[in-house]
A and B are shown apart, each in its own frame.
Chain A
Amino acid sequence: MSLRPVLLRLPRYFGVSGPPRRRWWWSRSLDLTSRRGQSSRSPVHWNQVVSEAEKIVGYPTSFMSLRCLLSDELSNVAMQVRKLVGTQHPLLKTVRGFVHDTRHNLQLRGLVVLLISKAAGPSRMNASCQDYDVVSGIYSCQRSLAEITELIHTALLVHRGIVDLSELQSSDGPLKDMQFGNKIAILSGDFLLANACNGLALLQNNKVVELIASALKDLVQGVYQENSTSGKENHITEHIGISTWKEHTFLTDGALLAKSCQAAMELAKHDTEVQDMAFQYGKHMAISHKINSDLQPFIKEKTSDSMTFNLNSAPVVLHQEFLGRDLWIKQIGEAQEKGRLNYAKLRETIKAGKGVTSAIDLCRYHGNKALAALESFPPSEARSALENIVFAVTRFS
C-alpha cells in the first residue's frame, strides 16, 4: 500500500498549495550507510542538522502513523476541515502549519526520541528485549513511542486552537463557523489522543503508560496556564518572574520530551541512571529550543513592523526582571499608540536592554546542561546528532 499518494493529497484537503516539504519521504533509495568522521565539519544549520539526523535513524519521522492516516476518521476530519476554508478558525492555521515547513519542526520530538534510543544502544537485559524488532539500532516499540509523542503534541496543538465563543468579535466572522471549527478541533484532538492511548497500551508497559500520561497531564496544565496569562494586545501582562517562566516552560515544552526520552530508555530496560540522563537531555534541549524560538523576533535582521511577539516570552520576561515592574509598565505605556501596542517600538526598547543577551545566556546554559547529560552515552553518530541539535539551537551569530 503506497502511502505517498495519500501524503501528497493532504495539502489539497486543507486548501494549501504544494506538496509537503520533503519530497523524498518515501523514497526507497535512502542512503542508510553511516557517515563516520564527518564531525570535522559539524553542521549547525538547522535544516541540515535535522536531515542528517533523520538519515541516522533510518527513515524520516512520519507525520502520523499509517493506521491514523488510513482511518475513516481522518478523511472525515479532512473533509470537515475543508469546510473551514475561508473562515477565521485557528484550526485552519494549525493544520496548514503541518503541511508547510516551519522552523518549529513538528517532528523534532519524535526525532529526538529516536536518536536517544539509538544513542543508548541495545538493552543490556537481553532476555526481555530479544523478541523486539530492531531497525537501524532502534526497537520498534521505541519508534512507536516517538510517534505517540508527536501525536500528543499535535493533539494539544489542535486543542489550543479552540475559540471561546463568548469572546468573539464581529471581525472573527459568523458564530456558526467558529462553533463548527471548535467541534472539529475537539474531535480531531480527541482522535489523536485516543490513538496515542491505544498506542501506549500496545507497548505493554504500564510504567511507560504512566510516564507519558503524566507528561500529558503536565502539557495540559502548561497550555492552560499560558491561556490564562497570555496578555491581549491592549492589556498589561501579569508579572511573571523568570522562575515562574521556567516552571511554565517545563510544563508546556520540557515535560513531554523529557518524559518521552526517559520512557524510551525504560522500553529498552535501561537502568535508572540512563533514564535520568535521557530525561535531562530532553528537558534542557526542549527549554533551550523554546528560548531560541522566543528570541527570533529580537535577533532576526529584517522583521516587519507588524510582527508581534509574546509578552511572556523569555527575553521579555528577563527584560522585566532587570527593569522592575514599574519601569516596565511605563515602557509599555510609552509604546502604546491610540490604545494599541506598537510592537516595533517595544521591540527596540527591549533590544536596548539586557533581556535579549540574558536570554541568549539562558539558552546556552540549558544547552550545556543538555550536552552534559549526553556525556554518559557512548560516542556514536546518534549522540553526535543530538549534540548538533543543541549546537544549532544555541547558535546566535
Chain B
Amino acid sequence: HPHKPDAQGGTCVWSSFAVDRGPGMTILSIYIPYFNLVKNLTSAFPNVHSISQFHQKAPAVCCCSKAQSGQKYADPFKLGWRDLKGLYEDIRKELFISTTDLKEMAEYYFDGKGKALRPIIVVLMARACNIHYNNSRDMQASQRSVALVAEMIHTASLVHDDVIDDASSRRGKHTANKLWGEKKAVLAGDLILSAASMLLARIGNIAVTTILSQVIEDLVRGEFLQLGSKENENERIAHYLEKTFNKTASLIANSCKAVSVLGCPDPVVHEIAYQYGKNVGIAFQLIDDVLDFTSCSDQMGKPTSADLKLGLATGPVLFACQQFPEMNAMIMRRFSLPGDVDRARQYVSESDGVQQTTYLAQQYCHEAVRQISKLRPSPERDALIQLSEIVLTRDK
C-alpha cells in the first residue's frame, strides 16, 4: 500500500486500521501529519477546479491522464458508449410483460439519463481483458449482457432503496414510490430483479451466474449493515467500509470479474478485474459520501445531507468524530434529535473529515490503477485508469 512518510513528525490524526475483513479486504493503515495532508492532495491534482463535469456529453479535458500506452487520449465514456448504444432499449426489451402499467414503472429508470457508470466499466474491462488475453479487440455478446445485468441489478436495488429511505427524487425526477406508491414500487423492483436473473441465466455460463448471484446477496447484506451500528469508534470505520463494499463495490467488482471470466481463462486476470472493480467501487462511494456534504442539491439530482437525515454516519462524519468526540452521542442516536443534522454538518466543516475521506478514496484509486496496469496496454485499459481518476474528481 502506498504510504506517505511522516517527514515532519506532526500530530497523527489517522488511526491504524489494519483489520482484515471479508474477501481479501484490508483496510489501509496510514499515518500522515495533518498539515501535510492538504498540501499533498492539491499537488496531486493541480487543476482540480478546471476538471470538467462527470456527467457530460462533450469530450472531457482531464489534465491528469496517464496514457501509458502512448495512445491518443480518449474520453472513457465515449469509448465505452460505442458498445452500449441501445443499452436502455435492450434492457426495456427484457422487461417486456403483459401488465402494461407495471412495465412502465419498471422502465421508468431506464430512460437513458443515468450515469451508466457500471455498464461502462464492464464493457471497458471486457475489452481490456480480451486484448490482454489474445489481442482480440472483439467483445462477446455475453460480455455485453453482463453490462445489462449489472445495470438492472443496480436499478432494482435503487428502487427498493428509495422506498426504504422514503426518497422523493432521484436523477432529477420523482421517485417511483412517490408516483405510484410503495407497494407497487417494491414489486417493480422485484420484476427488474427477475428479468435480470433470466438474462443472467441465458448467458449460459455457470460461473458467471454464481458470481453475479452473489452480488444480490451482498446488496441485501449491505442494507442490513446499514440498519445496524457499532458502539466502538474503530469498529465503525471498518463497519462503514464493509457496508460500502457490500452496497456499492461488490456489484462493480463482480461484474468486472464475470466479464473477465467470459473473456479469458486465466484466474490471475479474473483477480485483477475483481480488484480493480472493488477498489474503484469503494472510492466511488466514498466520494459520493463526500459530495453529500460538499455539493448543493441542484447538481446532484437528489437533495444533499441526505445521509445525515437518514441517520447514516458516513466517512466525513466518522473521521470528524475523531477530532470532535462530542459527535459520538449524535452518531449513536442516528442524528434523530432536532438540530443534530445541522450540528453534525458544522462539525464536519470544521474538521478534516472531508479531506480524510477524499484521501482514503485516493488510496483506493491508486490501488485500482496499480492492479489494472498489470494488463497489457490498450485504449480500454487506459480508459479504466482515467475512469478511476474521474471518480475522484467528479462533482456530481
Which residues on A are within 8 Å of B, measured CB to CB? Answer: 72-73, 76, 80, 156, 159-160, 162-167, 179, 182-183, 186-187, 189-191, 193-195, 197-198, 200-202, 204-207, 209-210, 213-214, 216-217, 220-221, 223-225, 227-228
Binds A, one of B21-29, B94-102, B345-353: B94-102
Distance in Å: Cβ of A12 to nearest Cβ of chain B: 21
The answer on a CB contact under 8 Å between A220 and B227 is no
Q: What is the interface of chain A mostly: helix, strand, loop, or mixed?
A: helix
Distance in Å: Cβ of A77 to nearest Cβ of chain B: 8
* Least CB separation from A190: chain B residue: B220
A and B contact pairs by CB, cutoff 8 A, 12 listed: A76-B227, A163-B182, A167-B181, A182-B163, A207-B201, A216-B193, A217-B191, A220-B187, A221-B97, A223-B187, A224-B187, A227-B187
Q: Enumerate B63-105 residues with CB–CB distance to A below 8 Å.
A: 97-99, 101-102
Distance in Å: Cβ of B251 to nearest Cβ of chain A: 13
Q: Choose among A182, A198, A206 the residue that contacts B206 (Cβ–Cβ < 8 A).
A: A206
Q: Is B286 in contact with chain A by the CB < 8 A criterion?
A: no
In the complex, chain A residues whose CB is within 8 Å of the CB of B323: none
Q: Choose among B184, B205, B213, B223 the residue that contacts A200 (Cβ–Cβ < 8 A).
A: B213
The answer on a CB contact under 8 Å between B202 and A186 is no
The answer on a CB contact under 8 Å between A186 and B201 is no
The answer on a CB contact under 8 Å between B183 and A163 is yes
Q: Choose among B163, B191, B202, B223 the residue that contacts A221 (Cβ–Cβ < 8 A).
A: B191
Q: Is B342 in contact with chain A by the CB < 8 A criterion?
A: no
In the complex, chain B residues whose CB is within 8 Å of the CB of A207: 201
In the complex, chain A residues whose CB is within 8 Å of the CB of B220: 73, 187, 190-191, 194
Q: Is B200 in contact with chain A by the CB < 8 A criterion?
A: yes
Instruction: Knowing that A190-B219, A210-B198, A228-B101 touch, tell me 20 more A-B residue pairs with CB under 8 angstroms.
Output: A73-B221, A76-B228, A80-B227, A156-B190, A159-B186, A165-B166, A165-B182, A187-B223, A193-B193, A197-B213, A198-B216, A201-B206, A202-B210, A206-B201, A206-B204, A207-B201, A209-B197, A213-B198, A213-B201, A220-B191
In the complex, chain A residues whose CB is within 8 Å of the CB of B203: 206
Q: How far is the CA of A131 from the CA of B55 in the complex (A)?
A: 52
The answer on a CB contact under 8 Å between B98 and A221 is yes
In the complex, chain B residues whose CB is within 8 Å of the CB of A182: 163-164, 182
Distance in Å: Cβ of B42 to nearest Cβ of chain A: 42
The answer on a CB contact under 8 Å between B209 and A201 is yes
In the complex, chain A residues whose CB is within 8 Å of the CB of B163: 162, 182, 186
Q: Is B224 in contact with chain A by the CB < 8 A criterion?
A: yes
The answer on a CB contact under 8 Å between B181 and A210 is no
A-B pairs, 7 with minimum CB distance: A213-B197, A210-B201, A201-B213, A209-B201, A164-B181, A217-B194, A216-B194
* Least CB separation from B204: chain A residue: A206
Q: Is B217 in contact with chain A by the CB < 8 A criterion?
A: yes
Distance in Å: Cβ of A382 to nearest Cβ of chain B: 29
In the complex, chain A residues whose CB is within 8 Å of the CB of B216: 193-194, 197-198
* Least CB separation from A227: chain B residue: B183
The answer on a CB contact under 8 Å between B99 and A225 is yes
Distance in Å: Cβ of A103 to nearest Cβ of chain B: 26
Q: How far is the CA of A143 from the CA of B213 in the complex (A)?
A: 20
In the complex, chain A residues whose CB is within 8 Å of the CB of B198: 210, 213-214, 217
In the complex, chain A residues whose CB is within 8 Å of the CB of B193: 193, 197, 216
Q: Enumerate B136-178 residues with CB–CB distance to A below 8 Å.
A: 160, 163-164, 166
Q: Is B135 in contact with chain A by the CB < 8 A criterion?
A: no
Q: Is B214 in contact with chain A by the CB < 8 A criterion?
A: yes
In the complex, chain B residues whose CB is within 8 Å of the CB of A186: 160, 163-164, 186
In the complex, chain B residues whose CB is within 8 Å of the CB of A223: 187
Q: How far is the CA of A194 from the CA of B212 in the complex (A)?
A: 11
In the complex, chain B residues whose CB is within 8 Å of the CB of A200: 197, 209, 213
Q: How far is the CA of A80 from the CA of B164 in the complex (A)?
A: 14
Q: How far is the CA of A191 from the CA of B224 in the complex (A)?
A: 9
Q: Is B383 in contact with chain A by the CB < 8 A criterion?
A: no
Q: How far is the CA of A370 from the CA of B132 in the complex (A)?
A: 56
In the complex, chain A residues whose CB is within 8 Å of the CB of B228: 76
In the complex, chain A residues whose CB is within 8 Å of the CB of B214: 198, 201
Distance in Å: Cβ of A95 to nearest Cβ of chain B: 17
Which of the listed residues B97, B205, B213 has the most CB atoms from chain A within 10 Å of its own CB? Answer: B213
Q: How far is the CA of A163 from the CA of B201 in the complex (A)?
A: 32
Distance in Å: Cβ of B5 to nearest Cβ of chain A: 40
In the complex, chain A residues whose CB is within 8 Å of the CB of B181: 164-167
* Least CB separation from B228: chain A residue: A76
Q: How far is the CA of A217 from the CA of B106 in the complex (A)?
A: 12
Distance in Å: Cβ of A392 to nearest Cβ of chain B: 32
Q: Choose among B102, B202, B224, B227 the residue that contacts A224 (Cβ–Cβ < 8 A).
A: B102
Distance in Å: Cβ of A159 to nearest Cβ of chain B: 5
In the complex, chain A residues whose CB is within 8 Å of the CB of B282: none
* Least CB separation from A179: chain B residue: B166
Distance in Å: Cβ of A113 to nearest Cβ of chain B: 19
* Least CB separation from B206: chain A residue: A204
Q: How far is the CA of A221 from the CA of B193 in the complex (A)?
A: 13
Q: Enumerate B206-260 residues with CB–CB distance to A below 8 Å.
A: 206, 209-210, 213-214, 216-217, 219-221, 223-224, 227-228
Distance in Å: Cβ of B165 to nearest Cβ of chain A: 9
* Least CB separation from A199: chain B residue: B213
The answer on a CB contact under 8 Å between A194 and B194 is no
* Least CB separation from A228: chain B residue: B101
* Least CB separation from B163: chain A residue: A186
Q: Is B195 in contact with chain A by the CB < 8 A criterion?
A: yes
A187-B224 in contact given A165-B182, A206-B206 (Cβ < 8 Å): yes
* Least CB separation from A210: chain B residue: B201
Q: How far is the CA of A236 from the CA of B171 in the complex (A)?
A: 39
Q: How far is the CA of A226 from the CA of B228 in the complex (A)?
A: 35
Distance in Å: Cβ of B219 to nearest Cβ of chain A: 7
In the complex, chain A residues whose CB is within 8 Å of the CB of B101: 228
A162-B183 in contact given A186-B160, A198-B216 (Cβ < 8 Å): yes
Q: How far is the CA of A224 from the CA of B181 in the complex (A)?
A: 12
Which of the listed residues A156, A164, A201 has the most CB atoms from chain B within 10 Å of its own CB? Answer: A201
* Least CB separation from B95: chain A residue: A217
* Least CB separation from B190: chain A residue: A220
Q: How far is the CA of A95 from the CA of B186 in the complex (A)?
A: 19
The answer on a CB contact under 8 Å between A209 and B200 is yes
Report B28-46 CB contacts with A as 1/0, cut-off 8 Å: 0000000000000000000
Q: How far is the CA of A160 from the CA of B182 in the complex (A)?
A: 11
In the complex, chain A residues whose CB is within 8 Å of the CB of B164: 182-183, 186-187
Q: How far is the CA of A194 from the CA of B153 in the complex (A)?
A: 11
Distance in Å: Cβ of A225 to nearest Cβ of chain B: 6
The answer on a CB contact under 8 Å between B99 and A224 is yes
In the complex, chain A residues whose CB is within 8 Å of the CB of B195: 213, 217
Q: Choose among B194, B206, B217 the residue that contacts A220 (Cβ–Cβ < 8 A).
A: B194
Distance in Å: Cβ of A148 to nearest Cβ of chain B: 12
The answer on a CB contact under 8 Å between B201 and A216 is no
A76-B217 in contact given A206-B202, A227-B183 (Cβ < 8 Å): no
In the complex, chain A residues whose CB is within 8 Å of the CB of B99: 221, 224-225
Q: How far is the CA of A189 from the CA of B163 in the complex (A)?
A: 13
The answer on a CB contact under 8 Å between A162 and B186 is yes
